[in-house]
Amino acid sequence: MLNLLTAERIKIIRSKKFWIVLGILTILPIMQAVNSQITVNHGKELVQVIDTVINGATGILMIEKNGLTVLLIISAFICFFIGEEFQNGTIRNVLSLGRSRIHYYLSKFLMAALVSLFGVIVLTALGMISFTVVFGFGEVAEINHYFVFAIKSFITLYILILANVSVYVMIGFLTKNSGISLIWCFLYTIATGFLPDIFQQTSHFKQVTEWFTETFLFYSDFANPSHIAKYPEMVLVSLLTIVVSSTLGILCFNRTDIK
């Protein structure tokens, strides 16, 4: 498993796509800070509930602010990261050496998780720095212990992202093709991201939407104490998503013929 991770590290460092993802996640928070400054200069006031990040302290919620963008960027990266192994035939080089398919699947998942973690750390750190530079560090309303809040919020937001990473990895292994997995990942993200808004209008389907991590990511205010109380539920749903999607992905991959 460590050998596989070493091989993945060499590939990732030399991957243009990885550097493009990192570039986007670096530029995005800086541009948003500048945009917010322009908005304020035009006489508008930033409101935390709407704008999510309004100062350096709320910068910890950059993942929430950019939830959809982060998911789409990471899903595209994962689709190529896995699909190209099938399309270039390089997956044969590993599996024909007698490497376990489970280890191969998990090494891909682990690398995708690490890339996502690194990406969201960069996004959040630069978000906090650039918003602090423009608006000062400030505070998060109704939060007394900022450090604990920051750690809990970041971990919860990352786990919500990780659950989606797990689904994208599963889709990548099921479709075995970058293009097709890209379509399915986008459809999954958009469907689970926007359908809850409709379903939440009815009492019958409201409960169902809470089994999807996007519902929390897109429709929660992570600075609101009533939503902060739901962190354990968010983590539980995310972990269940990771376990179910990974199990399904591994089972299907084990039965797959590699062309």
Partner 1 sequence: MSETILKVRNISKRYRNTKALEKVSIEIKRGMIYGLIGENGAGKSTFMRTIMGLIKIDEGDIELFEQTGSKGLQHARRKIGQSIETPALYPDLTARENLKVQAANGGVSEREIDDLLRLMNLGNTGKKKAKNFSLGMRQRLAIALTLITNPEFLILDEPTNGLDPSGIVEMREIIQRLVTERGITVLLSSHLLDELSQVATHYGILHDGKLIHELSKEELSRETRQYIELETTEIQKAVVVLDELEIKDYEVVNGTRINIYEHIDDVAAINRSLVLADVNVLRIGTTRQKLEEYFLQLTGGNTHA
Question: Is residue 89 at the binding interface for partner 1, with CB under 8 A as the rule?
Answer: yes
Question: Do 12 and 117 contact (CB within 8 A), yes or no?
Answer: no
Q: Which of 10, 47, 50, 229 binds partner 1 (CB under 8 A)?
A: 10
Between 37 and 87, name the residue whose CB sits nearer to partner 1.
Answer: 87
Report d(CA 197, CA 31) in Å as an integer: 28
Q: Which of 35, 39, 90, 202 binds partner 1 (CB under 8 A)?
A: 90
Q: Which of 6, 39, 207, 247 binds partner 1 (CB under 8 A)?
A: 6
End-to-end CA distance of the chain: 23
For residue 65, the 8-state DSSP code is H
Q: Which of 94, 157, 167, 217 binds partner 1 (CB under 8 A)?
A: 94
Could you tell me which stretch among 32-40, 89-97, 129-137, 165-173 binds partner 1 (CB under 8 A)? Answer: 89-97
Nearest-approach distance from CB 19 to partner 1, in angstroms? 11
Secondary-structure breakdown of the chain: helix, strand, coil percentages, each rounded to the nearest 5: 80, 0, 20
Tell the burial category of 70 from Cβ atoms under 10 Å away from its Cβ (0-12, 13-18, 19+). buried
Nearest-approach distance from CB 257 to partner 1, in angstroms? 4
Q: Which of residues 15-44 bind partner 1 (CB under 8 A)?
A: 15-16
Report d(CA 202, CA 200) in Å as an integer: 5
Could you tell me which stretch among 5-13, 19-27, 65-73, 223-231 binds partner 1 (CB under 8 A)? Answer: 5-13
Report d(CA 205, CA 167) in Å as an integer: 22
The footprint of partner 1 (CB under 8 A) covers 3-4, 6-7, 10-11, 14-16, 88-100, 255, 257-259
